[in-house]
Structure 1
Amino acid sequence: MRKILIGLTAAVALAGCQPKPEATTPERDAKAVMEAFWKNTDANRFGANGALLADDIVFIDPIWGRYEGKEAATRFLAQFEGAGDGCCTLDRLVTDGNVGWAFWTLHAPNDEQPWVGVYQVKDGKIVFYQDIHQRVYSAEEQAAHKAAFKQAQDAKKSAKTRG
């Protein structure tokens, strides 16, 4: 019995001495995912960001509306391909755990507009994204945003009644 206990003690001690695989922290995952998102965006590969989105993502844009699910959000992003390289550039990225804030600039003809993107990452995928633009929107822009939101809500209700 004593030999068994000594053997078990040695095995446990040796197991504790084995190098452990490097842990991946949520913060590191979030930062890497957001850096990849912006590398794609800056290179005008908006659609490639679909690979970084969770299946159940909620993606909110103050002009274009709310997109739920990976397919809808990827389709939304992909429509901006062709806008030109560098149309959106990352100015600063801040992360804390599984959340992050991207301070970015939209470069339009004769105009530069500052934005903030707020992210949440889980298991290496973006589960939430919302853009925030600090300016007053015209009545037409507000109406377009509200119409897009209503259309999305109506489509969601319609899908529930069919499903």
Structure 2
Amino acid sequence: SKAKVEVHENTNAVLSCEFRTEKETNPRVEWKKRGKDVSYVYFDGDFTGSFKGRASIDGATLTLRGVTQKDSGVYHCEVTARQDKIKLGEVTVTLNVLVPPHAPSCEVPETVMRGFSAELRCKDKLSVPAATYSWYKDNKPLHTANLPEITYTLDSKTGTLVGGVL
């Protein structure tokens, strides 16, 4: 019922997989996670690996507790009903775990000669979606500060500020 699930880290994610069978009374339910390799999440009535102890299943709907960025990815639910006309039912759910911005790591030169340009960089590799950046001088947003002696370009997506003192 929901092909894309977005949740904040350390909360619960519900990956919906619902089914009805015609004759099969004991269908087999499997969940797999696709990545570089395909790994099992739920197989043969039990959870595997890091999902043990923090996941539960209701019918075929999977709940993951305390999700982290490592849980983001494409999940695949398979329901096998050997006695039915349709032997295999499957659904794919994409989980995106949102991570708030962290304190960025920054590279700022200590000194710059007048007339030369300086490159100031900030990066936060952990936030999802990717962070956007604003620069401040003396606690004022750079774009509102009156700085006639400084020319600069700012890339709010990469966090890079290139400026020169006239």
Tell me if TM exceeds 0.5: no
Structure number with greater Rg is: 2
More strand by share: 2
TM-score range (shorter-chain normalised) is under 0.3
Which has more helix, going by share of residues?
1
Question: What TM-score results when the alignment is normalised by the length of structure 1?
Answer: 0.23
